[in-house]
């Protein structure tokens, strides 16, 4: 329904190996060295069916995936996981896809995965068909940028991103306003990135994130991913900004808060957050690269 922009981070990634094996009767999916149940495997199998169709094969596969992102906690685990799965499975079939084709393939598994094929700032262009809906790199973001991730709750969300989005689209009267204003935010954001205007990037990031969460409050029934510590983290960002540190918060569909700041000031921001949150709740991240073969 709308184009979107993200920043690829180095702290969150997925290592995935796919091996097609004619001796297997069914796909086997191991996540973090644990064999997954039928439901989890079905989602992977449905995606692999797309790859098998492209490669004109019917062979089952064994998938080993190590996710360096808490799964289903609002930290973009599906973006990382499905981008890695797209890359590994297409490589295993020798499909020789271009980055654009790989982005389109990843999108079929998770929309946000289309962006995770690339590093730095990346735009997912909504398009109007399978052929025109894919991500493109916008900027390498190599200009003193970092993020501090405040892990409020790393457990699986009560309302999944997919379910929450469906409810919002179908029932929230605020959703049309989101659609109307998002292209304006995106155009301003791309201009700010081009000019390396950190303050503007931060301001757009923060207001756009709050606007998205506002649409959920208008859903029927209403829901929110925020927890008390989420609000505490957001308030601390405002206090730090008032004290002279340039930092801004954003949240996707989950309770965890991401603090965009200057890389040169990351240690100062983290030190202040360490007074309110445990060390294991704070993850420092720099700008991440695109997908790569190991």
Predicted confidence band of residue 222 (pLDDT cuts 50, 70, 90): very high
In the prediction, which pLDDT does 74 show?
53
**Mean pLDDT for all residues in the chain:** 94
Which pLDDT value is given to residue 153?
Answer: 85
| pLDDT, tens only, 161-211 | 889 999 999 999 999 999 999 999 999 999 999 999 999 999 999 999 999
CB-CB contact of 81 with 114 (8 Å): no
The CATH fold assigned to 4-139 is Ribosomal Protein S5; domain 2 (3.30.230)
Confidence bin at 214 (pLDDT 50/70/90) = very high
CB 245 within 8 A of CB 239: no
Instruction: Give me the residue spans of the domains in the chain.
Output: 4-139, 145-285
Q: How far apart are CA 130 and CA 125, in angstroms?
A: 11
Q: In this predicted structure, what is the pLDDT of residue 252?
A: 87
Q: What pLDDT shows up at residue 77?
A: 76
pLDDT at 27 over 60: yes
pLDDT band at 293 (very low <50, low <70, confident <90, very high): very high
Per-residue model confidence (pLDDT) at position 97: 97
Length of the chain measured in residues:
294
30 φ/ψ angles, rounded to the nearest 5 degrees:
-110, 120
CA 257 from centroid of its chain's CA atoms: 13
* The pair of three-digit structure tokens given for residue 251, joined into one six-digit string: 């949240």
Residue 40 near residue 31, CB atoms below 8 Å: yes
Residue 95 — very low, low, confident or very high, per pLDDT cuts 50/70/90? Answer: very high
Single pTM value for the model: 0.93
- pLDDT at residue 17 is higher than 60: yes
Percentage of residues of the chain with pLDDT beyond 70:
97
pLDDT of 100 strictly over 90: yes
Nearest-angstrom CA–CA distance, 78 and 84: 10
Q: Average of pLDDT values for 26-32?
A: 95
- Give the residue-averaged pLDDT of 146-150: 96
Helix pair angle (175-194, 198-217), 10° resolution? 170
The pLDDT of residue 141 is 98
Name which CATH class applies to 145-285: alpha beta
Residue 71 pLDDT: 55
pLDDT at site 78: 84
229-266: string of b/e by CB count within 10 Å (b at 16+)?
A: bbeebbebbeebbeeeeebbbbbbbbbbbbbbbbbebb
Tens of pLDDT, residues 52-94: 999 999 999 999 999 887 655 456 678 999 999 999 999 999 9
């Amino acid at each position: 329904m709308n184009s979107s922009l993200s920043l690829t981070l180095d702290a969150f990634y997925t290592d995935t190996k796919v091996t097609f094996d004619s001796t297997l009767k069914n796909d086997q999916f191991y996540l973090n060295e644990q064999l997954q149940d039928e439901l989890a495997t079905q989602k992977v199998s449905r995606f692999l069916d797309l790859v098998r169709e492209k490669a004109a094969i019917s062979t089952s596969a064994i998938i080993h995936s190590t996710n360096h992102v808490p799964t289903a906690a609002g930290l973009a685990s599906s973006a990382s996981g499905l981008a890695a799965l797209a890359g590994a499975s297409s490589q295993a079939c020798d499909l020789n896809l271009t980055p654009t084709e790989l982005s389109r393939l990843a999108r079929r598994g998770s929309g946000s995965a289309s962006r995770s094929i690339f590093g730095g700032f990346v735009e997912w262009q909504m398009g109007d068909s399978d052929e025109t809906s894919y991500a493109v790199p916008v900027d390498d973001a190599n200009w003193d940028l970092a993020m501090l991730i405040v892990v409020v709750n790393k457990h699986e969300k009560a309302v999944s991103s997919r379910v929450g989005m469906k409810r919002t689209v179908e029932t929230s009267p605020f959703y049309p306003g989101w659609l109307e204003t998002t292209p304006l935010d995106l155009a301003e954001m791309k201009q700010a990135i081009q000019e390396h205007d950190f303050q503007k990037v931060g301001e757009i990031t923060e207001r756009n994130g709050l606007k998205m969460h506002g649409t959920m409050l208008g859903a029927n029934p209403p829901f929110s991913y925020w927890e008390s510590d989420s609000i505490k983290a957001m308030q601390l960002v405002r206090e730090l900004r008032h004290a002279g540190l340039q930092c801004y918060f954003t949240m996707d569909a989950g309770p965890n808060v991401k603090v965009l700041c200057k890389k040169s000031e990351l240690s100062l921001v983290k030190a202040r957050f360490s007074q309110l949150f445990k060390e294991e709740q704070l993850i420092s991240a720099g700008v991440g690269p695109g997908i790569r073969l190991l």
